[in-house]
Structure 1
Amino acid sequence: MTKINTTLVSILISCVVLVTSCNSNKSEAENAKAVLDTVSLSSKNFALAYQDEDKIVATSIDTMKQISFGGATDPAISPDGNKLAYTLSDSAGNRSIWIADMENKSQGKLQVNSNNYYQAMWSADGGAIAFNIFNSKNLWKIGVIKTDNSGYVMLDSASKINVYAPTWKNEKEIIGQDLTKLYTFDRTGKLIDTKLIADLIGNEFSIASSNRFFYTKDGAKLIFNAGNTDILDGLTGPSEAVYILDLASKKVQRISPKGINVPYVFLTADDRIFYSGAEKPFTQSKIYVSDLDGNIKTVVDKGNNPTGALK
């Protein structure tokens, strides 16, 4: 994978800006839209999306082309590289998920009856999106919806537990966690499995609501990031790293090297591990990719929160 120098202006197709309607009868997030560039993107599928300060960037690694979206967060590139889901926020604190089609330049909002839903995660076939949603009982749940805005369901909607950080185990199952337990749901919302996280990975890790767990394609391993006991001089808060759990042997292997704090990890459906991390003085984060054997390459010199498309 080619290392990207994000300072090269010549590789930028154009900046995509977010504009807000003057219609006072709707919220800012309802009216915000992304204005895509006029360059045809056919046959230029993007391979990676990530956050770069106050904008998100989608990039085609092979052609070294980029598109950026100012004011958006939580970039999530579709498995085919043609679409980008992202979160828009307004001054009232409302958050919503939008999808931009980077080939035909259309974009629209996921229609969910909530003012606070964010962090899209695409299914491997690109037909559905899972996300966190704040419900009417002031609890965090997992929502799932098809990209045509049909088939919306809130998983585990009746329980009184918070569930965070959804990922897809496979096309039919979705997982999330509540800091102590790992839950598996089917797409109808039925809870089909519960495991104590400590029983899986041991007691030496700390889990935050942002920590994600991904099953590998064969279901034999679990990729996750978690807090550890490393003492990193100059770092405010606990250090985090990326790990692989072999479910058969119960062995946990560290992927990210010591000295790097890794608050974000993403696993593609073809088992490539993207993560963002910072070294001392912990002011600038880089993006890395690793295979399951721990062979790591630097992908982007400045960025965080990466998601990758299929090769």
Structure 2
Amino acid sequence: MTKISIRLVSVLIPCVALITACNNNKSGKESTKAVLDTVSLSNKNFALAYQDGDKIVATSIDTMKQISFGGASDPAISPDGNKLAYTLNDSVGNRSIWIADMENKSQGKLQVNSNNYYGAVWSADGSNIAFSIFNKNSIWKIGLIKADNSGYIMLDSASKINVYGPAWKNEKEIIAHDLDNLYTFNLAGKLIDTKSIKALIGNAYYISSSNNFFYSRDGKKLIFNASNGEVLDGLHDRAEAAYILDVASKKVLPISPKGVHVPFLFVTADDRIFYSGEEKPYTQSKIYVSDLSGNIKTVVDKGTNPTGALK
């Protein structure tokens, strides 16, 4: 088990400074950016990003090098480990996505015509970013934008379908769900496939808008987190776990340990499964990584909402 040391090279910019700047902005627009540290990042070896309380941490996989900053959420590290997307909330409840370059420390807001978009997910080649967005008709949709901040579109924009949990099926397709169906969209924004979630995984699981689905690289497995209705002693909600579905056989197997509550899961394009999980007494979450066979390692002793870069 790897435990983060306080001797790591890290600079934390206090959350208070960021919140104060936002609260002083009466227009409701962000007047400041989260500030990365000032150490040299020339080694480009960041492999993991996660939430630790009120701050975001980006770290090497052995946790021996990290940077952190406060006041942001939804960390999403790019596949090459050089950039970090995060969500910023302003004082009137608006959400927006910013991109920080961890090598040259430049930062910029994604140019999207909305006051509520969050939860960036990078494509495997780092060229595109998908995210959740609330449209003018109060419907949740998936936004798509190029990493150079151009070419924004909203997927399936004309329909009345709410969709949650965007993820990349492959370089040219994005999946999302509406609790009942798993949808596939192409990069032009067209809905190209609909599958019943119950037909895929059966009737034993409860799906919420915060649950995520990911296909393995070969498309033969579906990785997801969900509740099976189990109530764990000491947990105030139904427990969730991480599962793998074999698409051909329709067999579903758990890949998280029994008794661990898994509210967040992320799968890299090279089939590594990162998730945050809580054990009894459910007061602290650890971050784990697993392969498709269920071989699990603890990566970080305290953290939530992990995303990983490619090896």
TM-score, with structure 2 as normaliser? 0.95
CA distance in 1, matches of 2:308, 2:23: 35
| Counterpart residue number, 1:27 | 28
CA distance in 2: counterparts of 1:44 and 1:36, whole angstroms: 15
Residue 9 (str. 1) matches residue 6 (str. 2): yes
What one-letter code is carried by the residue in structure 1 that aligns with 2:118? Y
Partner of 1:170: 170
Change (3 A) 1:222 1:147: same
Q: Pairwise mapping of residues 96-135 of structure 1 onto structure 2 (< 5 A)?
A: 96-135=96-135
Alpha carbons 2:61, 2:299 under 8 Å: kept: no
Question: Secondary structure of 2:200's match?
Answer: helix
Q: Which amino acid aligns with 1:27?
A: G
CA distance in 1, matches of 2:267, 2:63: 23
Instruction: Spell out the pairing of 1:120-159 with structure 2 (5 A cutoff).
Output: 120-159=120-159
Asked whether the equivalents of residues 99 and 108 of structure 1 are also in contact (C-alpha less than 8 Å), the reply is yes
- The alpha carbon displacement at 1:168 in A equals 0.3
TM-aligned CA deviation for residue 25 of structure 1: 6.4
- Structure 1 counterpart of 2:260, which letter? I
**1:193/1:39 CA distance change after superposition, 3 Å:** same
Amino acid of the residue matched to residue 129 of structure 1? I
Structure 2 match to 1:298: 298
Offset of residue 281 of structure 1: 1.0
Larger mean CA deviation between 33-42 and 249-258 belongs to: 33-42
- Asked if 1 retains the 8 angstrom alpha-carbon contact of 2:261 and 2:279, the reply is yes
> 3-state DSSP class of the match of 1:115?
coil
Aligned partners of 1:32 and 1:88 also within 8 Å:
no
- Do the aligned partners of 1:207 and 1:227 also contact (CA within 8 Å) in 2? yes
SS at match of 1:200: helix
Gap change, CA 1:192 and 1:98, over 3 Å in 2 = same
Q: CA deviation at 1:37?
A: 2.0
Match of 2:51 in 1: 51
Q: Which amino acid aligns with 1:12?
A: V
How much does 1:22 deviate?
A: 9.0
Give the TM-score of the pair, scaled to structure 1: 0.95
Runs of 4 or more off by more than 3 Å in structure 1?
A: 16-19, 21-26
Q: Cα deviations across residues 213-241 of structure 1 (Å, max 9, x unaligned)?
A: 00000111100001112231111111100
- Separation of aligned partners in 2, 1:37 and 1:303: 20
Indicate whether 1:160 and 2:157 are aligned.
no
Aligned-partner Cα distance in 2 for 1:235–1:37: 37
How much does 1:4 deviate?
3.5
Instruction: Give % identity.
Output: 73
State how 1:1-311 maps to structure 2 within 5 Å.
3-6=1-4, 8-17=5-14, 19=18, 20=21, 24=25, 26-28=27-29, 30-62=30-62, 64-311=64-311
